[in-house]
Structure 1
Amino acid sequence: MNTIDLTPLYRSSIGFDRLASMLDNALRGDTGTGGYPPYNIEATGENRYSITIAVAGFTEDDLDIQIERGVLTVRGKKSDDEKDRNYLYQGIAARSFERKFNLAEHVEVVDAELSNGLLNIQLVKEIPEAMKPRSIEIKRGTALEHKK
């Protein structure tokens, strides 16, 4: 496996540590989850997004959603009452999982809902007023008077 040396990026930039870490993680690949559970990410409007994760068999109590340092983490852990069941065939996966999503700056989770085996997480990007582009008025200068 080839690796890319990100040292020059760290050396010549300030505040981009998280970006470099994201690149490094992306280049290593997401081998931990094996594609389980499947999910969709969609744009639902201007600055609005939705993540839908297929979590059939999980209840609200089995799921945990957290945000830390710009990373949204969704974990699922089945309760122990499933151990008493005697399955003849078990085609619905019920194993524990952890899914991580890197969020851009100013993206916030506004809602999460579990319905029909799908966990829907609503996100919105709210740019602070101070960071929005604004026009600066240019005033007409007055001629300077020469003092004699």
Structure 2
Amino acid sequence: MSDPRMKLVLVTPEIPYNTGAIGRTCVALNLELILIKPYGFSLDEKSVRRAGQDYWKHVQLSEYDDWASFLAERQPPRDALYFFEEHGAQSVYEPAFQEDAYLVFGCESKGLPADVLDGMDDRVFHLPMRNPIVRSLNLANVATAVIYQAMRTQLGG
């Protein structure tokens, strides 16, 4: 069982800069970053370290070979899982995030795999966009916005 603090999960991230930037945000907010393989890059790449600046060495990082391994080892409660997709049925502004929330994001080009989302329709959220000409937002930007919204609900506003 894991400790009762929020965690950020990236499933098969593809762009090293996004992972580095998200890692830096996790360091700033004392959150664990969980990465699910395969990655579209090596964690040793300069671009990961550059985006994370000199903070990357402070990232509380956990890695798993696949989603099934993550679920087996962590055994997260279903209600602690929050999945984010651009077409999620609910807005990120709706839930009161649990203290031990797992904020789960997919890769930049495809989002979350169908097998990860299977049976989780009620746990899928989106970050609203007002202009329909924008198809998607940068993963690091979305993750940061979601983290701060989740923290806001935990603090009671």
Fold equivalence (TM over 0.5): no
Q: Please report the TM-score for the alignment, with normalisation by the length of structure 2.
A: 0.24
Q: Please state which structure has a larger fraction of its residues in strand.
A: 1
Larger Rg: 1
By relative contact order (CA 8 Å, sep 6+), the higher-ranking structure is: 2
